[in-house]
Amino acid sequence: MLLIKKILDLKLVKDNIFHFMKDFLISQEISDDVSYCPLTRFSHNKKNTDSSPHDALKNVWDLASLKKLMLSLNNPPLQKTATQIVFGEGVLHPSVMVIGEAPGQDEDVQGRPFVGQSGKLLEKALNTIGLFRDKNCYISNIVPYRPMGNRTPSNDEVSFYLPFLKKHIECVKPKLLLLVGSVSSKALLDTNEGITTLRGKILHCMNIQTIATYHPAFLLRSPGQKAKLWKDLLTLSSLITMVK
């Protein structure tokens, strides 16, 4: 009788170990699966008690802590395939903060926004109306990492980084915004209107007067449209005189 009881006890212990191991392996599989992007984790893993990566933005009030927070994110979109973050550069309280789409190859290598071919065209255009990134201008992008192969960032990638960019704008405190290209214009103006409709008008984003214009990469492919960039910059220049 005693021997039978011992055998049954042993079987119970073995069953418990088996179930414990099974549960452990399943939970590992789930967490491996959802670890890619914090937003994915929040929508799919109901038991997740972590706070959203965007919650931490509440405690950010300067560029240094914003950059630190962005660098501390756990596997955020686009980071894995990029060389480094392209955060943004320029002066605080500038006349104009320029916001592009995404870093390209040159920006990815140098860690600086708009330093490639598009950047040269943009810089030349800005300089003609007296804007310089080391004097009165700040430049950043909607997403801070280069999408592989220079593809357009997806809606999910843009939505993930939009709260970081809005905090970036709050920290830089520009007098005016210049949105270059349809991706940054649509995201920051929260509209589905195309850039052809949006460009050249005086719009508002976060209570800041804003001009949207064509992306310089588009103008390099369609030089016939360049006159429209100059026209939009003249509108921006007249706003600069007014907010000075």
Binding track, positions 41-60, relative to ligand URA; x by CB under 6 A: --------------------
Interaxial angle between packed helices 117-128 and 226-243, expressed in degrees from 0 to 180 and rounded to the nearest 10: 50
DSSP state of 148: G
Which CB, 38 or 183, lies closer to ligand URA?
183
72 φ/ψ angles, rounded to the nearest 5 degrees: -90, 0
Q: Helix, strand, coil proportions of the chain in percent (round to 5)?
A: 55, 10, 35
State how far the alpha carbon of 128 is from the alpha carbons of 15, 71, 151, in Å: 77, 35, 30
The H or E element that residue 98 is part of is strand 96-100
Which CB, 114 or 160, lies closer to ligand URA?
114
Which CB, 141 or 213, lies closer to ligand URA?
141
Q: Least distance from C-beta 81 to ligand URA, angstroms?
A: 16
Tokens of 230: 């100059």
Q: In the complex, which residue's CB is closest to ligand URA?
A: 100
| Residue 112 CB neighbours (<10 A) | 18
Query: Of residues 112-151, which lie at the interface with ligand URA (CB under 6 A)?
Result: 113-114, 116, 118-119, 141
Q: Least distance from C-beta 83 to ligand URA, angstroms?
A: 13
Regarding 100 and contact with ligand URA (CB under 6 A), the answer is yes
User: Is 206 strand, coil or helix?
Assistant: coil
Q: Least distance from C-beta 58 to ligand URA, angstroms?
A: 28
Query: Of residues 201-240, which lie at the interface with ligand URA (CB under 6 A)?
Result: 217
Binding site for ligand URA (CB under 6 A): 100-104, 107, 113-114, 116, 118-119, 141, 217
